[in-house]
Amino acid sequence: MANEPTQIIYPEDRLPIGQNLVAGLQHVVAMFGGTVLCPLLIGFDPNTTIFFSGIATILFFFVVGGKVPSYLGSSFSFIAAIIAVTAYSGTGPNPNIPLALGGIIAAGAVYAVIGLIVMKTGHGWIERLMPPVLTGAIVATIGLNLAPVAVQQVGGSQFNILFGLLTVVLVALSAVFLPSFLARLPILIGGGIAYLLYFVACNLNKMENPIDFTKVNDAAWLGLPHFTTPVFEPNAMLLIAPVAIILVAENLGHVRAISAMTGRNMDPYLGRAFFGDGIATMFAGGFGGTGVTTYAENMGVMAITKNFSAITFVTAGIFAILLGLSPKFGALIQTIPTPLIGGLSFVVFGLITSTAGRIWVDNKVNFTDPKNLIVVGVAAVISAGNLSLKIGNFDFGAIALATFFAMALYHILNLKTARRS
């Protein structure tokens, strides 16, 4: 019995019903912070996003045949491109969601095609096309391009700026000092504490604009989420479609991590995982949801619990669908104050940027090589400076331009190394 908590539960294993329900709910809590925050940052409906993340997770389960345990939550990789396409102001509903949805579907289609190719040819070509130095550079461009958005959200009064920074501190303390599983939920816990402090400061002590609960009181407990029809505009699709490259890198890392934790080689399922994630992203984008990806928070839960049962994620998906069917839940999410969202953005966008460093360190990227230094440096400046390039009717936004330019430049500079070998 002493060894029971550390016994590995493999993807094909099934927990007793009661344990499975608790485990599924735990995964919903783990994904909750990120999957709720993402739509708020781009003006999407949180109910619709949660609803389709649940459907996406179940769809993924069937595509991979239950072989790869995963929850598919909102992908932060889409944020910068969606903001650029929709010119979203940062507050309230996004009026141009249909444009973004067309781009999300395009990214999902590219992703699914990559999955089909990998199923036929293997995944070696992906690692040659996108070595770690490039993957890290592309990830860094997303975080850097989003920095002005976070600054804008905490801007305004001095109170808002201070409260945004306080939110950062609370999230950081939660991540570093809380024990075990709780430390995997820093956005949920730190953000929750910040919300309570804002309520005390503004609703009870009138220090700033109070939280308005009118819509929460008026909302129904049950109801369908708000669905939106996509619009397929070439420029928008071109700007958002390259996000598929990041999704490939994320999913590759996810499958490799689960392989290490379970002691099983899951590389044979990479193509199906890419295809499943791509199809799920297209489906979500077809009705008003955000693009989806595998979630690091849920990998953390698997690492702690040693539970890799794939059916647990079907249970989590069902819980998420039920949450999405509650307009009152969505109305409550909409009450989160803007400076609090800004503070959370500082953390999330900063983590996206710093993840690039982890990719480079883990893969021992050589930064004494001028090729790597130039590619990473140029991509970072293009993104941080928000440089765009218009060719004909197509407008390459900063992230798309940084991605394609970095890839082209790297492989051109790599010709010298290839000739030597």
Q: What pLDDT, in 10s, does the model give residues 276-299?
A: 999 999 999 999 999 998 876 677
Lowest-confidence segment of 11-20, 23-32, 35-44, 296-305 by average pLDDT? 296-305
Q: pTM higher than 0.85 for the full model? A: no
Question: Between the ranges 27-41, 94-108, 142-156, where is the mean pLDDT highest?
Answer: 94-108
Q: What is the pLDDT of residues 136-186, one digit of tens each?
A: 888 888 788 878 878 887 877 899 999 999 999 998 998 888 876 677 678
**pLDDT category of residue 415 using cuts at 50, 70 and 90:** confident
Model pLDDT, residue 2? 39
pLDDT at 199 over 70: yes
Mean pLDDT, residues 101-109 taken together: 96
- Residue bearing the bigger pLDDT, 421 or 408: 408
Instruction: Taking residues 268-272, report their average pLDDT.
Output: 92
- List, in sequence order, the alpha helices (H) in 13-130: 17-42, 46-63, 79-86, 97-121, 124-129
Give rounded-to-5 percent helix, strand, coil for the chain: 70, 5, 25
Taking phi over 0 as left and psi of -120 to 50 as alpha, with beta for the rest, 69 belongs to beta
Contact 59, 323 (CB under 8 A): no
- Provide the residue ranges of all domains of the chain, joining segments of one domain with +: 10-420
pLDDT digits 0-9 by tens, 41-82: 899 998 999 999 999 999 999 999 999 999 998 888 888 889
- Mean per-residue pLDDT of the chain: 86
Q: Is 244:236 a contact under the CB 8 Å cutoff?
A: no
Cα–Cα dist 417/82, whole Å:
37
- For every residue of 270-324, DSSP letters joined together read HHHHHHHHHHHHHHHHTTTPPPEEE-HHHHHHHHHH-B--HHHHHHHHHHHHHHH
Split at pLDDT 50, 70, 90, the class of 395 is low
Work out the pLDDT band at 120, boundaries 50, 70, 90.
very high
